[in-house]
Each structure stands twice: as structure tokens, then as C-alpha cells.
Amino acid sequence: MKVLLLNPPFLKKFSRPQRSPAVTKSGTLYFPMWLASAAGVLQKEGHEVDLIDAPADGYELDYIIERAGKLNPGLIVLDTSTPSIYNDAGVAGKLKGILPESFVILVGTHVSALPEESLNIDQRVDAIAQYEYDYTLAELAKTLAQKGDLRNVPGIIFKDNDKIIHNPRRQFIKDLDAVPFVSEVYKKFLKIENYFNPNALYPMVTISTSRGCVFPCTFCVYPQTLMGRNFRLRSIENVVNEMKYIVANFPQAKAIFFEDDTLTVNKNRCGELAELILQNKIKISWTANARVGLDYETMKSMQRAGCRSLCVGFESGSQKILDNMKKKVALEEMGKFMSNAKRAGILIHGCFMAGLPGETRETMHETLELAKKIRPDTVQFYPVMVYPGTEAYNWYKERGLIKTPDFSKWITPEGLHNTVIRTETLSSEELVRFCDYARREFYLRPSYLFYKTGQMFTHPQEIRRTFKAFRTFLKYLLRGSDITH
């Protein structure tokens, strides 16, 4: 069967596949990794596939319609996100109207959390896929090609005349080594220069070594709406083979980004990965998401194997707030972690949030003071973003702390993150003002500016990445209001 997989047009450079979808202040644009993974499985199963990333390539709807018409797919798959859901369902409906014989299905975190509501946005949409959808789409394509019964396809929720049918959930993939390399799909359909993450050298290729997350953080959207809490691993050999493929097939790539929820859950596995990278003499920088708690010896072995930086969710400088969000991290671990990282020569991007349950002006400033004390290489301060299907979303909704039910308001008209929550003591405006203030306080310190200037002299490979991120970020850094403190 012919299958079109589409990251649909919306706003220019709208980063739909990331955990908090938006047009970002740093110019970040994520690879459509899960959509590409499904494309790889569909190709492996013998289907003819086209993959289009409209926001990355700047394609408008007219071009999508023309390209879809030439392919004439029997199955059309559209990725979605919370802030773009009305647009995404509308694009899906238009494609269905032009290609009425095509079966149109929506995938992604939002539709997984709100299947019936999503199906009712545009009545022309046929179905949604819940949770991990690689093999759901492959089985759906086979069933459609054979004119089989849709009730036999686990993982979909579909329309049958006036009824919405909920099929059983599909089990999560156990053998991740059986899934084709997502980088092979990138090679065929995408331009890696379109994508940017300020935590990795540019250009880079994003892959993952695992799916799911064992930690119960209330706000994190992927484990709760897409990949589950069941932690599943690719073999180290499989990961290293994909790294070798990337080095051989993307000579322009300067880095690999491991987009696991957290690569460092198992420190022994991190050590084994580092050892096998060294044994295979793979020469490429890499970056990963990590948690506080990694020891120096493991970090040093990772650094020797090419690990340049880690993206770490510190979140708050208040133990009470960390406990409220079920972070399972102690404040005293953070300083030791940063000391280990600096000794090992690994850069840290620190993520901090404002507005979590129990937040006050005092706890927000504890967060800022923590950031200045532990001194990550770069930081982000954001009001917490809550998405349907997460424990955090339910907590704020039950207490009437979400300002609007209109999901398009999750971003500003320009596409930037918008704050739709407040706390029981702080307004949305106060949360935004604090984050603006905290960014300026951290980045405009003379000591930080001196450090960053020196870093570019001692590590010239950082210049391109730093300027690419800073060029976009500067106008936001210098904007904003003072906050009472």
C-alpha cells in the first residue's frame, strides 16, 4: 500500500515533535523521529512510503496536496500536537476531502490522550492511533490493503458510521532492535541541516536508544501518552551500529543527539555504550538527556567516548517542589552531579521550571539561586507546560488553574510557548516575569559572559552552535519586565 506520513504545515519552524511543541526562542527544531520510525517499519513491511516534514522544509498546504495527489496514498498519517491540534485535524480533513478513498489517521501525544475529542474536531478524519504506533500503522496498512476488519487492528480508535470504536491497546514493542534505523529514513527523506538543538553541535542527527521511562514525574508527556512507563532498551550493539551508519552516511554531521527520556537510567549500560564506541573507533560528538545522580567514573568514560554535553532536568531549587512533582531527586545530589560533570569535562544544559504545585515567590528564587550556584553551561527557565494525558494536566484542571480550554492558546500567535496555567498563589503573568528575570540574571552576569567568551576561544567547535542559538535568543533575553523579589 502507498502511505503518506506527514508532519503537517502550521507555523514556520514549528517544532511539533518536541515535548513542549512551539516555535522556540533558541531556534530549536526537532526531527520527526517517531513519525520517521513508523515510516521505517512500514517500508520494512513492504509498503511504499513518502515522508514530508512541512515545518522543516517550509512547505505550504498547496504543495502537500499536490504531492499527495501524485502519490495517491491509501493511508495518510498526520502527526499532531496540543497547540496545533485544530490546524492538524483541519489539514487531515482537507486531505480526506481531496482524496476520499484514502484512510486518514492522526498520531501523537495529544490524540493519544484525547481520542474521541480529537476525532470530533473534523468529522472527515477516520481514526487515531494511541500510544506507540509503529506497528499499529503497519498492521493498519496491511488490513486496508486486504479490505480486512478494522476491529482486528489493536491500537486504533476509529469511526464506524456514527459510532466511535475503541480497539484494544497494542502492547509496547519489546524488541526495539527489530525497528529499522531511524537515521536511514532521515537519509531518504529529510535534510539534517533543517534541524537544530542548541545542546548539540550543528548539524546533528537525533536517535534514541530506548523507549519509556521508569520515573513518575507528573509533567513529562512522552511516558504518559506515547511510550509508557515500561522501560525498553535497544542492544548496545544495535545502537553502535546505527552510530557507524550515521558517521558513514552523514559526513556533514557534527553530533548525535540521544533523545531518550533519559539515557542514564542504567549507569552500567552507559559504561558499556562508551566502551563499545571506543572499541569501534567512532569519532563523533554526542549529547543525551540525563538525570542527576550519575557518578564521575561513568561520566568520564562517556566523555572519552565522545559525550560532549548532557541535558538535565533540575527543575526546582526547592525539595518540596521536587517531591510534589515526583522527581525522585534530592537537592544535595545536584551540586555533586555538577561537580562530577565539570571534572569529567561534560557540559550541562540545565532545565528549570516555575509554577509547579506548591510554588511560591520564595521557591522560585530558590530555583534561581540553585542555578547560579551549580553553574550549568546553559540553562532554560520556563513556566510549567501541562498537556492532556499527564498527571500534571489533571492536577491543574481539577483545581481550575488552567486559564482556557482552547488548546490553540498553548502558544502565542507567533508560536512561542504561552502560559495557560497559574498556581494557587501566583498568576500566569508572575510566572512569565520570573522566567524572563531569571534568564537575564543568569546569562547577563559578567562572570558568565567572561566564561562563555573564553569557552569559544578554547573550544572553537562551540562557536557555530553558540552563535546560531544566541542570534535568535538575544532579542528574548533582553526583553521582559522586572519582577518583585
Residue 117, judged by CB atoms within 10 A of its CB (0-12, 13-18, 19+), counts as middle
* pLDDT tens, per residue, the chain with 485 residues: 999 999 999 999 999 999 999 999 889 999 999 999 999 999 999 999 999 999 999 999 999 999 999 999 999 999 999 999 999 999 999 999 999 999 999 999 999 999 999 999 999 999 999 999 999 999 999 999 999 999 999 999 999 988 999 999 999 999 999 999 999 999 999 999 999 999 999 999 999 999 999 999 999 999 999 999 989 999 999 999 999 999 999 999 999 999 999 999 999 999 999 999 999 999 999 999 999 999 999 999 999 999 999 999 999 999 999 999 999 999 999 999 999 999 999 999 999 999 999 999 999 999 999 999 999 999 999 999 999 999 999 999 999 999 999 999 999 999 999 999 999 999 999 999 999 999 999 999 988 888 877 777 666 666 655 555 555 555 555 554 333 22
Q: CA 223 to CA 217: how far, in whole Å? A: 9
pLDDT of residue 485: 25
Given 151, 166, 181, the domain boundary residue is 166
Cα–Cα distance between 84 and 118 in angstroms, integer?
A: 12
Does residue 454 form part of some domain? yes
In this prediction, residue 481 carries a pLDDT of 38
Same domain, 108 and 235: no
Alpha carbon distance 175, 342 (integer Å): 36
Shared domain check, 135 and 205: no
Identify whether residues 234 and 101 lie together within a single domain.
no
Same domain, 239 and 384: yes
pLDDT at 471: 56
242, 154: one domain: no
Query: Are 233 and 122 members of one domain?
Result: no
The C-alpha cell 514525574 sits at 217
Question: What's the domain range around 123?
Answer: 2-166
pLDDT of residue 442: 95
The residues, ordered by sequence, that sit 6+ positions from 302 with a Cβ below 8 Å of its Cβ are 270, 271, 273, 274, 344, 346
Please report whether residue 468 resides in a domain: yes
- Pair (221, 117) in one structural domain: no
Q: What CATH number does the domain containing 143 carry?
A: 3.40.50.280
Residues 305 and 156 grouped into a single domain:
no
Alpha helices in 305-445 (DSSP H): 319-324, 331-344, 361-374, 391-398, 428-443
User: What does the pLDDT read at residue 446?
Assistant: 87
Report how many domains make up the chain: 2
- 113, 250: one domain: no
- Name 485's Cβ contacts closer than 8 Å, sequence gap at least 6: 361, 365, 437
pTM (two decimals): 0.93
User: Which of 410, 148, 480 has the alpha carbon at shortest distance from 419?
Assistant: 410
Residues 50 and 160 in one domain: yes
Same domain, 268 and 141: no
In a domain? residue 133: yes
Q: Is residue 482 part of a domain?
A: no
- The per-residue pLDDT for 484 is 28
Residues 120 and 43 in one domain: yes
- CATH code of the domain in which 362 resides: 3.80.30.20
Whether 183 is in a domain gets the answer no
- Orientation of helix 296-304 relative to helix 331-344, angle to 10°: 40
Q: Is residue 333 part of a domain?
A: yes
- Cα–Cα distance for residue pair 13/414, rounded to 1 Å: 11
* pLDDT (0 to 100) of residue 459: 66
CB 228 within 8 A of CB 212: yes
Q: Is 184 within a domain?
A: no
The DSSP result for 25-76, as a single string, is TT--B---HHHHHHHHHHHHTT-EEEEEEHHHHT--HHHHHHHHHHH--SEE
188 in a structural domain? no
Single-letter code of the amino acid located at 4: L
